[in-house]
Amino acid sequence: MTKELLERLRVNDVRFASRLMSDVENNVQSKDMNDLLYAHSLKAVRIGITGPPGAGKSTLIDQLIDQFRKDGKTIGVVTVDPTSPFSGGSLLGDRIRMSQHTLDKGVFVRSMGSRGMIGGLARKSHLLGEVLACTGKDYILFETIGVGQAETEIIQNVDITIVVLVPEAGDEVQFMKAGPIEVADLFVVNKCDRDGAERVSELLSEYLQDGKEKGDNVPEIFLTSSTSGHGIEDLHEKALTLIERFKSSGELELRRERQYLKRVQGALRDELVAQFWNGQPELDMDAEITALRRAKKSPFTAAKYLVDSLNK
């Protein structure tokens, strides 16, 4: 049964893939599929692209897609940036642009809302990436704004990460806004036709040198312009080189091992909590918690009491 579903993904049945991804987002996908999705997604390379709203990530991705397509490579995109034009535009909804790749069967863009579903965002984005990988996509790009725990968890589950900044990012407060720059394998100063691009590149370079531990490699910085296309080819080429290097050095394997462990730990937590709540139909939890609160027990004591009640 599920093998048949996998086959429908493999032949790139777009409507089926879309429906399955909706199921994932709504948390109703068949759990039996998880192993198949995971096992058949390992060939795809996952690239994280992160940076603050307005850094031009989506246009950059559009142009990277061009480069990949020239090589005959296929691309899936999972965007969790609520301001991304891929997601149907900005909050006010008045800036919808269409990706030029809409009609290309070798490209599949899937956007996730991030406001209001913080809980499962990272977990679901991983699954969406796996669905896309099962449709045979060679590269899966994850677009996120660079802040927040869920976004960080998404970016921690990719093979390489590109952090995108703008020329106005010329001080440390701005670097911070870019989010977890310590995860960057490559930096991009986008919109480099604007004033300050060289300066921010130099400042960033110094900043990275200051923060580097002995023996660390300092990530390369690329100046790009989404309008003129400047620097995109270089960036694409360097990303491919880096992926190959990570593959041959064992770094890729190491990263995936760590990521697997983290995902197991997360799933384990969810499983334990689910079993706990399912396990006590006889305990009136609301009443118990209300009573504990009235007794001015700290939340920690309350939790321990509830767990111990079940274990008895």
Residue numbers at the binding site for a copy of itself (CB under 8 A): 31, 34-35, 37-39, 42, 52-54, 82-83, 90-92, 118, 147-150, 152, 172-173, 175-177, 257, 260-261, 263-273, 275-276, 289-290, 292-293, 296-304, 306-307
- 223/189 Cα distance (integer angstroms): 5
> In whole angstroms, how close is the CB of 57 to a copy of itself at the nearest point?
12
**Residue 123 to residue 128: CA distance in whole angstroms:** 9
* Closer Cβ to a copy of itself, 103 or 173, answer by number: 173
Name the residue nearer to a copy of itself (CB basis): 55 or 232.
Answer: 55
CB atoms under 10 Å from CB of 151, counted, come to 24
Q: Which is nearer to a copy of itself, 184 or 232 (CB)?
A: 184
Q: Residue 19 or residue 276: which is nearer to a copy of itself going by CB? A: 276
Residue 310 C-beta: closest distance to a copy of itself, Å: 10
Phi, psi (5° rounding) for residue 115?
-70, 130
Q: How far is the CB of 309 from a copy of itself (least distance, A)?
A: 11
Give the burial class of 122: count Cβ atoms within 10 A of its Cβ; 0-12 exposed, 13-18 middle, 19 or more buried.
buried
**Closer to a copy of itself by Cβ: residue 43 or 245:** 43
Tell the smallest beta-carbon distance from residue 210 to a copy of itself (Å): 8
Helix axes 299-311, 285-294, angle to 10 degrees: 140
For residues 128 and 16, is the Cβ–Cβ distance under 8 A?
A: no
- Torsion sign, CA atoms 12, 14, 19, 22: positive
Which residues lie below 8 Å from residue 137, measured CB to CB, with a gap of 6+?
Answer: 44, 74, 75, 76, 108
Residue 262 to residue 272: CA distance in whole angstroms: 15
Q: How near is the Cβ of 245 to a copy of itself at its closest, in Å?
A: 23
C-beta closer to a copy of itself: residue 28 or 42 = 42
Closest distance to a copy of itself from the beta carbon of 229 (Å): 24
Q: How far apart are CA 190 and CA 50, in angstroms?
A: 12
Whether residue 118 contacts residue 4, with contact meaning beta carbons closer than 8 Å, is answered with: no
Tell me which residue of 100, 112, 45 sits closest to 73, measured CA to CA.
Answer: 45
Comparing CB distances to a copy of itself, the nearer of 129 and 231 is 129
Quote the least distance from Cβ 8 to a copy of itself, whole Å. 19
- Token pair listed for 292: 């504990």
Q: Which of 200, 207, 161 is nearest to 183 (CA)?
A: 161
Closer to a copy of itself by Cβ: residue 96 or 272: 272
Measured from the CB of residue 5, what is the shortest distance to a copy of itself in angstroms?
Answer: 15
